[in-house]
Amino acid sequence: MVRPLKRLLSTLVVLCLALAGGAHAADLEGALRVTGRTLLDGNAPRDFSKGRLGSGAADLVFSLLASGEGRYTADRWQLVGRYDGGGRKYLTFSDEDVLVQAAALEGSVALGTSLGLGVEGRAKDRRGGSRDYSDLMASAFVEYAPDARLALRLRAGAQRFLYRPDFAASFGGPAVGFLARFRIDRRHALSASGEYGSRRYPSSVRYPPGTSPTWTGRRQDGALLASVGYTYKGPVALGLTYTYQEASSNSFGESVQRHRLSGSAGVRLPWRLMLLAQGSLGLNRYPDGVYLSPDIILLEDDEAQNTLSLKLVRPLNGHLDVELSFAMYGTQLPRNELYYFRQVGGVGLTWRL
> Is the C-alpha dihedral spanning 56, 58, 59, 65 positive or negative?
positive
Range in 16-30, 143-157, 263-277 with the lowest mean pLDDT: 16-30
d(CA 151, CA 116): 11
Is the pLDDT at 25 greater than 60, yes or no?
no
Domains of the chain: 3-352 (2.40.160)
Mean of per-residue pLDDT scores for the chain: 86
What pLDDT was estimated at residue 330?
85
Q: Does the pLDDT value for residue 91 go beyond 80?
A: yes
pLDDT score of 291:
72
- In this predicted structure, the answer to whether residue 15 has a pLDDT above a threshold of 80 is no
pLDDT at 52: 57
Q: pLDDT digit string (tens) for 136-183? A: 999 999 999 999 899 999 999 999 999 888 888 899 999 999 999 999
Phi-psi region of 253 (alpha: psi -120 to 50; beta: other; left: phi over 0): left
- Exposure string of 250-285, with b = 16+ CB inside 10 Å and e = fewer, is ebbbbbbebebebebebeeeeeeebebebbbebeee
Helix ranges (H only) for the chain are: 3-20
pLDDT at 22: 44
pLDDT by residue (tens digit) across 235-257? 999 999 999 999 999 988 889 89
Decide if 222 contacts 251 (C-beta within 8 A): no
**Residue 8 reports pLDDT greater than 70:** no
Global confidence as pTM: 0.85
Asked if the model's pLDDT at residue 16 lies above 80, the reply is: no
Question: Would you state the pLDDT for residue 54?
Answer: 55
How many whole angstroms separate alpha carbon 11 and alpha carbon 245?
A: 31
* pLDDT reported for residue 296: 53
Q: For residue 349, which of 88, 37, 85 has the smallest C-alpha distance?
A: 37
**Using one digit for the tens of pLDDT, what is the confidence trace for 273-321?**
999 999 999 888 888 877 777 665 444 445 557 899 999 999 999 899 9
Sign of CA dihedral 267, 273, 274, 276: negative
User: Is the pLDDT reported for residue 88 higher than 90?
Assistant: yes
Question: What does the pLDDT read at residue 19?
Answer: 46
